[in-house]
Amino acid sequence: MKGKTRQSKGVITQIGPEGVAELVPGFLESLRDRGLSPATADARSTALNSFLKFLAEEGISRAQDVTPRAFAAFRGYLDGNGMSVNSTETYLNGVRAFFGFLEGEAVIFSNPTRDAPIRQTPPPVPKTISVPDVRRLLNAVSTATPVGLRDRALLEVLYATGVRRAELLALRVRDLDLDQSVARINGKGRKERSVPLGDHAVAALTDYIAQGRPKLLYVDANVCEALWVQRTRRRQSLNRQNLCHIIRKYAELAGIEAHVTTHTLRRSCATHMLVNGANPLFVARMLGHADLSSLKHYLKVDIDDLRNTHRKTNPGK
């Protein structure tokens, strides 16, 4: 008997004996409709591809035939492939979201993943670099060339704002208001926010836009909207690999032993602001976080920080 098709919230879903695989595209479409980032959608898709492979090996094809025991067996399947606890839980969360969607669409009567336990692991200690290391990183850039002007401006903006990698790469010239020292950031879930740039970032951007960027472009500066460009005819804007190479290059020149990434500088920006007394609400808003709980991943207070704070506040005096 062929299954029936129904339209719900703009997503077509299959009801009946159709296989799990036929239901996945509707779920992924719903993620796009909700405005989830491409990275999140890709992660969900990867998790479901692994789940489909597991179901095929178990001889399970219908969503209605997936039981809590089968979901628990999938956890063992992932563990058996040498996956870390965090990665396993990420995959399982993708499958949980999928079955939550199917239950909401009335494709299944009961979500087999609802009562499955979630394993918690201690979060890793956030990696940051010190203020002196940040200065060494920035000073490692020679601004005698157009590329140097670009790289100095890029690093200044990254540290001053704490923006995410994708947000940094997506910046356009028209997103900047250098007179007001702010940048308009297009963040996760298509949420827009304005962040302050600071004097050093504004000065570096001014030099780059006036003297560096025009010399890197093969086209008229008004034709290309991307802020960060490279000297190539094939692709004018910087990509993720370019950015990683730039940060790694100057970290090595500065003699910084720690592995420095865009997220390292994002965490360092937040940590340095919080340790120096910035309002957590302001920092959370600047970083694009919906609530304060996310800041616990950025703030690492060591004993020297505690001594300095104690000395300034003089408790018990």
Residues with catalytic function: 164, 188, 263, 266, 289, 298
* Chain centre distance of CA 101: 24
From CA 119, how far away is CA 164, in angstroms rounded? 27
From CA 6, how far away is CA 102, in angstroms rounded? 12
Nearest one of 315, 157, 308, 145 to 243, comparing CA atoms: 157
From CA 82, how far away is CA 84, in angstroms rounded? 7
Beta-bridge partners for 193: 185
Residue with tokens 């018990």: 316
Element (H, E) at 193: strand 192-196
Beta-bridge partners for 6: 13
Cβ-in-10-Å burial (0-12, 13-18, 19+) of 302 comes to exposed
